[in-house]
Amino acid sequence: MIYQLAHNIISPLGFSSEANYLAVKSGKTNICLHENEFGLPEPFMGSVIDNEILDNEFSKINHSNTRYTKFEKMAILSVFYALQNTSIKTNDSSVQFVLSTTKGNVHLLENLNGFESNRIHLWKSAKIIAEFFKNENEPIIISNACISGAAAQITALRTLQSNNIQTVIVVGADMLSKFIVSGFQSFKALAPELCKPYDKNRVGLNLGEAAATIIYGKTNDSLPANSIELVSGAMANDANHISGPSRTGAGLYLAIKKAMQTIQPEQIAFVNAHGTATAYNDDMESLALTSAGLQNRPINSLKAYFGHTLGAAGVLESIISSLAIIDNTALKTNNLQERGTVAPINSLMQNQACTEDYFMKVLSGFGGSNAALLFKKTR
């Protein structure tokens, strides 16, 4: 069995998992209009971490002369806070880092800002992060578009099941930059206001910055109450289009089916879906969830709280959902006013109580990739 030993979220809503969860539960978001940000000619709605606050917090834990990028600071701070109340020795060879990111330090392409050119490489950045914690195992780096955070947790599950690694530190992070925002703008994928997942009038997504960490360990013993076990995880490809979601949801359905092998839909408290609020993604998910018999289970998207946090999304949203199930709460989809997906699904408009022990996290992304994770709360 593998389970969560500790976790952390760094986002504009707070620098701990609990602060982020409480903000979400009370319906808060920091998604707002950013004008003249990153030197972009057009404004965008997004959730951006304040550099001054980040630098201030980071200076409290960084006692070396090494310079770090914002991306690295977010990731390091998140891992550092997650480790705080554990006895894990990160310099031990039984500890493995797994980094989930889509673009890492890509902003350095515009201006190296005094960093060496190899700092743009994901492996270099991952190494810098692991070195901060004096970990010598080569970090595993997953760059699987929007499903990276789920893929990284599947890697944690498989790594712990199959070799002598005892602890896996999964950290997902992405920072926003002119590069990323302009690309999504060129796709016409961004909403001009707060995004509306699963809503009839949804017009696109918001981007967000975050870093999130889950530390996984394994045990043969029974788990203490309110521990979260990662039961299973699976991925599948649509084999349909490189940037458009499948029109049938076949790939996501296949991933869900594989992850759900051992349980029935009635045992699931809620599905925390991807819900980017683009027309095609949300319709595709509604079809896949319906094929899997999950359309009547409580379903939510957290995108109107955090925006789409790219490589962090799978990790961050798994943490919020873990805290929610421990709190016996199925969270609402923020800013959902009128349901409107091609297949009707039970996307929640209010927080509500739940009693079941399992929840499912699903993600889909460019490259036709889909992932599903099944978690269980111990009693």
Token digits of residue 254: 């296949």
What are 11's two structure tokens?
């986002």
Least distance from another protein to the Cβ atom of residue 57, Å: 28
Instruction: Return the residue of 65, 85, 87, 162 that touches another protein, per CB under 8 A.
Output: 162
**Binding flag, residue 248, another protein (CB under 8 A):** no
Q: Return the residue of 34, 218, 247, 258 that touches another protein, per CB under 8 A.
A: 258
Retrieve residue 34's tokens.
Answer: 């950013």
183 touching another protein, by CB under 8 A: yes
Nearer to another protein by C-beta: 121 or 339? 121
Q: Which is nearer to another protein, 38 or 133 (CB)?
A: 38
**Distance between CA atoms of residues 284 and 368, nearest Å:** 12
Token pair of 347, please? 């996307």
Q: Which of 77, 156, 195, 236 binds another protein (CB under 8 A)?
A: 236
- With CA atoms as reference, report the closest residue to 190 among 201, 178, 202: 202
Identify which of residues 4 and 125 has a Cβ nearer to another protein in the complex. 125
- Asked if 243 touches another protein (CB under 8 A), the answer is yes
Tell me how far apart the alpha carbons of residues 78 and 46 are, in angstroms, rounded to a whole number.
20
Separation between Cα atoms, residue 196 and residue 182, nearest integer Å: 21
- As measured in angstroms, the least distance from the Cβ of 235 to another protein is 4
Q: Which of residues 271-330 bind another protein (CB under 8 A)?
A: none
Size of the site for another protein (CB under 8 A): 52
Q: Does residue 263 belong to the site contacting another protein (CB under 8 A)?
A: no
**Residue 93 to residue 234: CA distance in whole angstroms:** 27
Candidates 161, 328, 337, 352; binder of another protein (CB under 8 A) is 161
Sole window of 13-21, 59-67, 215-223, 243-251 interacting with another protein (rule: CB under 8 A)? 243-251
What is d(CA 276, CA 208) in angstroms, rounded to the nearest whole number?
A: 11
112 binds another protein (CB under 8 A): no
Ordered alpha helix ranges (H), the chain: 17-25, 51-61, 70-83, 122-132, 148-162, 178-186, 250-259, 279-291, 303-306, 313-326
Query: Interface with another protein by CB under 8 A: which range of 27-35, 117-125, 207-215, 291-299?
Result: 117-125
Among 63, 64, 87, 239, contact with another protein (rule: CB under 8 A): 239
End-to-end CA separation in angstroms for the chain: 15
Task: Confirm if 179 and 254 have CB atoms less than 8 A apart.
Answer: no
Longest dimension (CA), the chain: 56
Distance CA 5, CA 98 (A): 15
State the nearest-atom distance from the C-beta of 178 to another protein, in Å: 6
Which is nearer to another protein, 260 or 330 (by Cβ)? 260
At a CB cut-off of 8 Å and minimum separation 6, what does 21 contact?
Answer: 319, 320, 323, 324, 327
Asked if 102 is part of the footprint of another protein (rule: CB under 8 A), the reply reads yes
Interface residue with another protein, options 67, 134, 187, 266 (CB under 8 A)? 187
Residues that bind another protein (CB under 8 A): 39, 41, 102-104, 106, 109-110, 120-124, 126-127, 138, 140-145, 151, 155, 158, 161-162, 178-179, 182-183, 185-187, 234-243, 250-251, 254, 258, 366-369
